[in-house]
Amino acid sequence: MPRSAPAWEQARGQAARRSGRARALGALKADGAREELLAALSDGRPPPREVELLDAEVVRRERLMLGLRLDEPMQLAGVEGAVDGEALARMERLGLAERRPDGLLLTHRGRFLGGGVTAELMAESPAKSTI
């Protein structure tokens, strides 16, 4: 009587087949986009692009996320509604963020934990912001 493959081997084979199908579908989509790009460039047209219009709240939040990655203080003007004031005070007490006259920056320790600190500083809604 033949032994069947262990369950983990069967699962691994199924996952491999699924990921192979996903890669094949992704390659077809990528090939279509590549062909469209090459056709536009060969015709002297600008390449196709998508434009995403962002509302003011999203712009403030994006600016905060990107600004805190810098090595220099980020100006708070323009992002006030995106920063949770209580979280900022907590991050300052923990030595993770520093508010200076020239802006806000993450400390060395805060930069090491950058994504988590930034997520904490992000106000859930403009009404929650206190700075």
* Domain count across the chain: 2
Separation between Cα atoms, residue 53 and residue 4, nearest integer Å: 55
Domain check: are 62 and 106 in the same one? yes
The answer to whether 57 and 82 have CB atoms below 8 angstroms apart is yes
Separation between Cα atoms, residue 122 and residue 115, nearest integer Å: 11
Give the alpha-carbon dihedral of 97, 99, 104, 106, to 10 degrees: -20
Domain check: are 30 and 72 in the same one? no
CB atoms within 10 A of CB 34: 11
> 52 versus 4: which is more confidently predicted?
52
Domain check: are 44 and 1 in the same one? yes
> What is the pTM for the complete model shown?
0.59
Name the 3-class secondary structure at 105: strand
Domain ranges, residue 4? 1-50
Domain check: are 66 and 86 in the same one? yes
Q: What's the angle, vertex CA 124, arms to CA 120 and CA 129, rounded to 5?
A: 85
Q: Which two three-digit tokens encode residue 130? A: 């206190």
Q: Which of 27-31, 54-58, 64-68, 105-109 has the lowest mean pLDDT?
A: 27-31
CB atoms within 10 A of CB 86: 14
Domain check: are 68 and 27 in the same one? no
Condensed to tens digits (0 to 9), the pLDDT of residues 31-65 reads: 678 888 888 889 999 888 888 898 998 899 999 99
Residue 13: its pLDDT value, please? 53
Domain check: are 3 and 34 in the same one? yes
Domain check: are 89 and 115 in the same one? yes
Domain check: are 60 and 34 in the same one? no
